Amino acid sequence: MNKYLASTEATEQFGAALWTILPETGVVFLQGELGAGKTTLVRGFLRGAGFTGAVKSPTFTLVEEYNLGERKIFHFDLYRLSDPEELEWIGIRDYFSKNCLCFIEWAERGIGFLPTPDAVISLAVQGLGRNLTLESLAEN
């Protein structure tokens, strides 16, 4: 699926729509340069789920956890990771064994320690908007 998102608001709205599209558990890689709207998309997803708290980029914390009733959402940002092996030190595999949905920014920095994603969402800046590509890798 390809879509042009004309604004930050449109990116959040698409993220909110993902709440009804994405499975309850799985791994979603978010691709795009700095400022492409990856965290904005996750914020929209969480808003679509009814979450009203602050949604911040996990650039410095590596992971942010959100509890939505029975569902858990983890938002990872691996941008500052200097070695993929650091993921072992934080117990990354434990996150994937839980009944949760994990969004992972900069997944290429965790090669060898991350599972195969169920979906890949790519965002690219185009003018004032974003081009979004959603690729589902899950078996039907």
Residue 14, phi-psi category: left (phi > 0), alpha (psi -120 to 50), beta (remainder): alpha
Average pLDDT over residues 113-133: 94
Where residue 99 falls among pLDDT bands split at 50, 70, 90? confident
Q: Which residues of 98-131 are buried (b: 16+ CB within 10 A; e: fewer)?
A: eebbbbbbbbebbeebbeebbbbbbbeeeeebbb
41, 121 contact by CB (below 8 A): yes
124, pLDDT greater than 50: yes
pLDDT reading at 140 higher than 50: no
Question: What gap in Å lies between CA 14 and CA 48, rounded to an integer?
Answer: 9
| Domains, the chain, ordered by start | 2-136 (3.40.50.300)
> Is the Cα torsion angle 41, 1, 105, 117 positive or negative in sign?
positive
Task: Output the six-digit token pair for 33.
Answer: 């340069």
Q: pLDDT tens digits, residue range 103-122?
A: 999 999 999 999 999 999 99
79-97 pLDDT, tens digit each: 999 898 899 888 888 888 7
Instruction: Give the model confidence (pLDDT) of 3-49 as tens digits.
Output: 999 999 999 999 999 999 998 899 999 999 998 999 999 999 999 99
What's the pTM value of the predicted model, to 2 decimals? 0.92
